[in-house]
Amino acid sequence: MQRLVHALVAASLASTMIGVTAGAASADRWWGGDRHGDVRQIHFVPAPPPCGIVEEGTAPQDAATDIVGLSVRHEAAAVEVRAHLRDLPPVWGDRYLSFDLQTDRRDYEITIQRLRKRGPLETILLVAARPPESVDECGTYYTVQLHVSCPELLMTRSTDRDVVSVELPHSCVGGPRWVRAGVRNFRTVQDRYRSDVWGTGSDDPVAYTGPFGPRVRHD
C-alpha cells in the first residue's frame, strides 16, 4: 500500500501570480456522477515488522464517505468546485477532503481538514505534488508541497444538500482559461481508514492524482 504523507511547507508564490483581465461575466458548468456504495476500507496491523499487514475491503454502507458526484462552475473571476456526498453529517470528524485541479497554467490541490485534533477546520491551497521518485520497502513515500496564499479561498458545506463547496478566486491561480477537477474523500472510523475517489469503483486502481473530469472553460 502506498501511504501519502503530506509535508506542508509554507512558501509564498507571489512571483507566479498573474493579473486577471476584466471581461464580460460568463460561466460554464459541468457535473459528473459517481457510483454509490464504492467506499474502500483499509485496516492496518503493525505486526509483523517492518511493514505490518494491510487488510483491504469495502464499506458500501458508509454514506458519509461515499462521493456520488462532482461539479464545476467556471466564471470569469472564480472557479467553484463541489463534492456531492451520499450523506454529509453535521460533524466533520476525522475527515480529509481533497480537490485536485488541473489548469492551463499550473496544477493545484485544495485540502479541507483539521491540522490539529481540536483545531479549526482549514481550507488550504497547495501546488500539486509531483509523483514520488522512490518508495521504501513498505510502499511508503513522502511529498513536499508549496502553500499558495489565498485569503479569499472560501469553503462552505451544506448538510441539507450533502455538498462541500470551495470557491477559488482566479487571482490566486493566475486566471486560467480552463480547469479540470477531481475529488477524494478520506475518513477514519475507529481503527478503519475509509476512502472514496470520484470516478473510480471500489475495485478500480487508484492513481496518484485524479481522475479528472473534462475541461471546463469560461468565455
120 occurs within a structural domain: yes
Q: What is the pLDDT of residues 159-172, one digit of tens each?
A: 999 999 999 999 99
27 occurs within a structural domain: no
Q: What is the pLDDT of residues 187-217, one digit of tens each?
A: 999 999 999 999 987 677 666 788 999 999 9
Nearest CA to 101 among 123, 116, 79, 117?
A: 79
pLDDT at site 22: 27
- CA pair distance 184, 98, nearest whole angstrom: 5
Q: How many CA atoms lie within 13 A of 97 on its CB side?
A: 26
Name the 3-class secondary structure at 152.
Answer: coil
Residues paired with residue 97 on neighbouring β-strands, in sequence order: 112, 185
190 occurs within a structural domain: yes
162 occurs within a structural domain: yes
7 occurs within a structural domain: yes
H or E segment and range at residue 122? strand 121-127
pTM score, whole prediction? 0.84
pLDDT of residue 124 exceeding 80: yes
Q: What is the mean pLDDT of the chain?
A: 85
What's the domain count of the chain? 1
Range of the domain at 188: 3-13+33-200
pLDDT of residue 18 exceeding 70: no
pLDDT at site 205: 67
Residues paired with residue 108 on neighbouring β-strands, in sequence order: 101, 127
